[in-house]
Amino acid sequence: MHEADKLFSGSIPENYDRYMVPLIFEPFATDLARRAASLSPSAVLEVAAGTGVVTRALAPKLPPGASYVVTDLNQPMLDYAASRQAPDGRIHWRQADALALPFENAAFDLVCCQFGAMFFPNRLSAYREAKRVLKPGGYFLFNVWDRIEENVFADDVTNALAGIFPDDPPRFLARTPHGYHDKALIRSELEDAGFSQVVIETRAEQSRASSPRLPAVAYCQGTVLRTEIEARDPGKLDAATDYAASAIADRHGSGEVAAKIQAHVIMAVV
């Protein structure tokens, strides 16, 4: 993974939460929170929490005595997540690297992560760390995006930007968010890290927006794709966003738009 793919800074966290979360993350956060709560954990660790969409969905479902540690490598994202969360004494916010978790062995019943594994520079190390901090019989619950062709708006935007920058098309979405979709590889890496009973479910949802411009803004200005566009031409961000919006409108119409999004949901046991 490119080092720049981890840099959710500047205005990206706010745009990410404003546009990306309702567009693609909320349906899967609701699903992950439901699955997590059904395990009745008393000590939960969330890694790569981003702007806190899972945290907001899961916290109300946990019992009063539960402990919920929420972490992210990126401090601006974590700060934004904390600002969006209602006061809750059960929640502890901590900047942490998933590859070197600052927690004792066997400290948690559940480690959960929404759409973070794709960003881990060394997934095997991250999986071993998740196993280390889990109690015997604990659960590792996470999801990853399926290939970009199964996630229509992301594919539309990527293809549109290739038309603007044909010599050096921005490939962040295909390379990183949608670059870890091989189920056999995921299973193998989890088993190599020491997990057992690996179950992988592929789940489709609908991405909905009130206009074609919203997904264009979400992807072009609410992700690291913005950094890639500005690196190619600092003055072309708005033009690139407009071009992506036009491409989505050409394919899906100029009013409300909807398209498929798809992810793998993975459960592994220590």
Structural domains in the chain?
A: 3-269 (3.40.50.150)
> DSSP readout, 79-109?
HHHHHHSPP-TTEEEEE--TTS--S-TT-EE
How many CB atoms are located within 10 Å of the residue 170 CB?
24
User: What's the pLDDT score for residue 6?
Assistant: 41
| pLDDT over 90 at 13, yes or no | no
- pLDDT value at 4 more than 80: no
Phi-psi region of 194 (alpha: psi -120 to 50; beta: other; left: phi over 0): left
Q: Is 155 left (phi over 0), alpha (psi -120 to 50) or beta?
A: alpha
Within 8 A by CB and 6+ apart from 38, the residues are: none
Name which of 37-41, 76-80, 176-180, 263-267 the model is least confident about: 76-80
Residue 101: name the closest of 130, 76, 81 by CA: 130
Residues 183-209: tens digit of each pLDDT: 999 999 999 999 999 999 999 999 999
What pLDDT is recorded for position 11? 52
With cut-offs at 50, 70 and 90, classify the pLDDT of residue 5. very low
User: Percent of the chain scored above 90 by pLDDT?
Assistant: 88
Please determine, for residue 32, whether its predicted confidence score (pLDDT) is greater than 50.
Answer: yes
Query: By the 8 A CB rule, do 50 and 12 touch?
Result: no
The DSSP letter of residue 196 is E
The predicted structure's pLDDT at residue 237: 95
CA 231, distance to chain mean position in Å, is: 23
pLDDT digits (tens, 9 = 90+) for 125-174: 999 999 999 999 999 999 999 999 999 999 999 999 999 999 999 999 99
Confidence (pTM)? 0.91
Q: How far apart are alpha carbons 255 and 242 in whole angstroms? A: 15
Entry field: residues in the chain: 270
pLDDT score of 12:
63
Residue 15's pLDDT is what? 74
pLDDT for res 18: 83
Task: Tell me the pLDDT of the chain averaged across its residues.
Answer: 93
CB 65 within 8 A of CB 42: yes
Tokens of 123: 């997934």
Is it the case that residue 7 has pLDDT exceeding 60? Answer: no
